Structure 1
Amino acid sequence: MSYEAIALLMFASMMVMLLTGQRVFAAIGVVAVASAIALWGGGGFELAFSSAMKLMKWYPLLTLPLFIYMGYMMSESGIADDLYEMFHVWSGGLRGGLAVGTIGLMVAISAMNGLSVAGMAIGATIALPELLRRGYDKVMVTGVIQAGSSLGILVPPSVVLVLYGMIARAPVGQLWLAGAVPGLMMAGMFILYIVARCRLQPHLGPALSAEERARITRADKIASLRAGVWPLLIFFFMTGLFVMGVTSLVESSAVGAVSATLAALAKRRLSYAVLEATVRKTLGISCMFMWIILAALCFGAVFDGLGAVRAVGDFFTEDLGLSPWEILILMQLSYIVMGTFLDDTAMLVIVAPLYIPLVKALGFDLVWYGVLYTITCQIAYMTPPFGYNLFLMRAMAPPEIGITDIYRSIIPFVGVMLLALVLVMAFPQIALWLPGLVYGF
């Protein structure tokens, strides 16, 4: 059997295991180790061990539990609730204003957490009941929360971009800055869509009544701004000091974790229950990431030994005769397909050994491609029939929101995301301008 056929068999076996409901790290790791033993005998046992040692030596991996801890501390201590109240006070008088405020909340949560699941949980538990109670259309607000939560993997400090940087050996600082402008651009596009839609169809997002607006004084508005002080300070100390070169990446994540804890303490919300819930959730998510990365390293080592990367590149460029841009578009389409049943981390670690070397060989910028990958993951998260965010929303939504409502809700927002993807592909400087400005390239 040729090496190309073995590589194809490995990939097919892994996909079959995933379709049977196996955990991602188990499907990837078992296929990798079994293939290594079948190919190289007893020496194949060393592959998993060497991959584990490589993982333990990845010093930047320390950032993952620290960033995750920071986000959950902000969420569990109720600081996210205060932020939503601030957006509610300032934007409630606008048609669709609470939906606009929800997007603002999601951007703030993204800047504190770096994961989409946290934004989804906060949006579904805090914003969704309030929006429904105030007469907002259930289909529209369901889409707002799903789309807004997807910003968590693009806006810094994106955990997904940290993982991408580790695998692609790309500077995480540049990746964070590259994701900032496209992330804010996409949030702005969501807001423009919401405002325009609610202006044309006011019943979808009614403004606060005159009586409610009268009860909110100027003093209340000024006082509500205090809710944004702590998140702003945490974001500055964490990301600002890193961009200025004062702290390293790991030090920056530690600063963020400590700042979040001090914020909860200053607001007198750092109880034993909050600390326990934060630590438990941090441990669970961090262990999941580590197992997946370990399995991916093993799988990638076998693929590299088989020469699969070179074979895929030759297939696209020589056998099919495709141009670099045509190959890039096909890769993005494959991510959307995989995203119907895999999360962003699994997609990255499964195809990174194939795609990242190919992207580099085609002459594309790896920092720019990291942003394209992340936006495509956002789209894949919301693509039926098995988009990750669709089922998270179904699990968290109240009974009156059915699966049909959830599927309908994402159609316009996926269209906005596709437009954003096309813009970043057509104009790479949207992503590369800020890192170029800061790092001088």
Structure 2
Amino acid sequence: MIGIIMFFASLAMLLYGFPVAFTFAAVSLLFGVIAGIVEVGFDDGVWQGLVDGLDEGLGLFDFMPYRIMSIMQNTILMAVPMFIFMGIILQKTGLAEKLLESMGFLFGEVRGGVAISTVLVGTLLAASTGVVGASVVAMGVISLPVMMKYKYNLPLATGTICASGTLGQIIPPSIVLIILGDVFQVPVGDLFAAAVWPGLFLVGAYILFILIVSYFKKDMAPSIPKDPSRGSKSKQVISALIAIIPSLTLIILVLGSIFAGVATPTESSAVGCIGAILLAVLYKSFSINMVKEAAFESVKVTSMVFGILIGATAFSMVFTYTGGDEIVEHFMTNLPGDEKIAFILFTMLAIFILGFFIDFVEISYIIVPILVPIADALGISPVWFAILIAMNLQTSFLTPPFGFSLFYLKGVVPPNVRTIDIYKGVLPFIFIQVAVLLTLVFFPEFFGITQ
């Protein structure tokens, strides 16, 4: 039970606000020593038991340098800093502004058109940048004032922006999928290919919801009056294509090279970095200072991810040593009903609840490694299970009270937009995500995925 107590102790410390990487490392060290003392016992006296137990517990960490070295040599994880760098460069080029402006003109005269444009731009940003915070902030700054000007329902407007900004979690190239590819030890290219249809299905569900709401409640998402200064419809289409084609070209270069088998995700991420810099030159926003800032921000985010990974490695080592994995496996394999479906539903519910409180990186490196051997023993397809987890982790960005998208948007909205408006706005989109997730659980063949 030491491993189980360790898990809840870590969760409590995270909720209290301690830094994630240091929490996992410190708790692992403490409970490793406790496990060593319990293992040795006090047959030779209390003091001798404490000394021998301390030596036994600390000896567990002798292999940590080798584990850290294996992380450093992992070529899959090399894609993480490069995709982050690509996304930050594209954010600084003003890609979101150009896309939103063009799409807004194109769909503005349709009821709910600005909201639909926001979803479509969120999809393009997800496939080209994958940086959730940047997408939410950009659309909050640009799209929300337009929706407020034309009297859009505030919860609908804020919910659309938050949900659209999180599409980068499931639509390739996604950092989540790269991390899960490493955890599951499956080719990242397979995960990228499997995630395309679920991601597009989710986009379609968002747009369908907006169309239904705007049809039955016309005042919630009114159309924008026609403005002659925008030019003819054909001119609007041409300007939209001019804004879209560069980002689409980058998406095709990055994802197309992976799907065609020409390049690995790590190699294509390097192509993406070069493509992002070329786009910055094309948009006349390139500068050495911009590259320097993007490099610093990439290092910060990457350091956070790898710091958590090192802490999580220590955690999983102690958790396995104390037999926590055996308790979890026994519990999971003895759930009532069909073993596979019961396991999937229980894990999805557990990850969904944990997503209210902790980040996707912690869940990926702490919870998922415990579940992978059980899923393997039950004969569950690792690709299917990874896509289910990625779809579930996307929801964690929207769920109150700690959904990161909610914080990102709240930081840039006008004072009259209340937090409760944002919370109310994301609820329908959370339900849509859960519905798509359940569809993926029971009908994976619909998305071209085998169980």
Match of 1:206, SS state, is coil
Match of 2:41 in 1: none
In the TM superposition, what are the counterparts of 1:142-291 in structure 2 within 5 Å?
142-211=158-227, 215-291=231-307
Superposition deviation, residue 77 in structure 1: 1.0
Q: In 1, are the aligned partners of 2:162 and 2:405 still within 8 Å (CA)? A: yes
Superposition deviation, residue 190 in structure 1: 0.3
| Larger displacement relative to structure 2 (254-263 or 214-223) | 214-223
Aligned equivalent of 2:96, options 80, 83, 92: 80
Q: In 2, are the aligned partners of 1:86 and 1:227 still within 8 Å (CA)? A: yes
Aligned equivalent of 2:331, options 286, 306, 315: 315
Match of 2:350 in 1: 334
Q: Give a deviation string over 1:15-51, Cα, whole Å, max 9, x none.
A: 1211210111111121123333442334234243233
Q: In 2, are the aligned partners of 1:96 and 1:194 still within 8 Å (CA)? A: yes
Aligned equivalent of 1:34, options 24, 30, 35: 30
Instruction: Give the Cα–Cα distance (whole angstroms) in 2 for the partners of residues 86 and 110 of structure 1.
Output: 17
Aligned equivalent of 1:18, options 11, 14, 17: 14
Q: In 2, are the aligned partners of 1:93 and 1:207 still within 8 Å (CA)? A: yes
Match of 2:40 in 1: none
Match of 1:210, SS state, is coil
| Larger displacement relative to structure 2 (189-198 or 212-221) | 212-221
**Is residue 2:105 matched to residue 1:89?**
yes
Match of 1:423 in 2: 439
Q: RMSD across aligned C-alpha pairs, in angstroms?
A: 2.0
Q: Which stretches in structure 2 are left out of the alignment for 5+ residues?
A: 37-55
Superposition deviation, residue 269 in structure 1: 1.2
Residue identity (%): 28
Q: In 1, are the aligned partners of 2:230 and 2:236 still within 8 Å (CA)? A: no
Match of 1:60 in 2: 76
Q: In 1, are the aligned partners of 2:102 and 2:236 still within 8 Å (CA)? A: no
Specify the code of the residue in structure 1 equivalent to 2:24.
I
Bigger Rg over Cα: 2
Superposition deviation, residue 309 in structure 1: 2.1
Q: Which stretches in structure 1 are left out of the alignment for 5+ residues?
A: none
Specify the code of the residue in structure 1 equivalent to 2:107.
S
Q: 1:219 to 1:282 in 2, by over 3 A?
A: same
Specify the code of the residue in structure 2 equivalent to 1:32.
S
**Is residue 2:67 matched to residue 1:71?**
no
Q: 1:213 to 1:92 in 2, by over 3 A?
A: farther
Q: Give a deviation string over 1:73-112, Cα, whole Å, max 9, x none.
A: 1110112211112211211110010100000010011001
Superposition deviation, residue 166 in structure 1: 0.2
Instruction: Give the Cα–Cα distance (whole angstroms) in 2 for the partners of residues 219 and 328 of structure 1.
Output: 50
Q: 1:36 to 1:91 in 2, by over 3 A?
A: same
Match of 2:364 in 1: 348
In the TM superposition, what are the counterparts of 1:291-310 in structure 2 within 5 Å?
291-310=307-326
Instruction: Give the Cα–Cα distance (whole angstroms) in 1 for the partners of residues 66 and 27 of structure 2.
Output: 16
Specify the code of the residue in structure 2 equivalent to 1:305.
Y
| Larger displacement relative to structure 2 (47-56 or 153-162) | 47-56
Q: In 1, are the aligned partners of 2:24 and 2:315 still within 8 Å (CA)? A: yes
Aligned equivalent of 1:413, options 401, 412, 429: 429
The TM-score, its normalising length taken from structure 1, stands at 0.93
Instruction: Give the Cα–Cα distance (whole angstroms) in 2 for the partners of residues 42 and 411 of structure 1.
Output: 46
Q: Give a deviation string over 1:338-380, Cα, whole Å, max 9, x none.
A: 1111111111112122111111212211111111111112223
Superposition deviation, residue 321 in structure 1: 7.5
Instruction: Give the Cα–Cα distance (whole angstroms) in 2 for the partners of residues 432 and 307 of structure 1.
Output: 37
Superposition deviation, residue 163 in structure 1: 0.0
In the TM superposition, what are the counterparts of 1:369-384 in structure 2 within 5 Å?
369-384=385-400
Instruction: Give the Cα–Cα distance (whole angstroms) in 2 for the partners of residues 7 and 185 of structure 1.
Output: 39
Superposition deviation, residue 165 in structure 1: 0.6
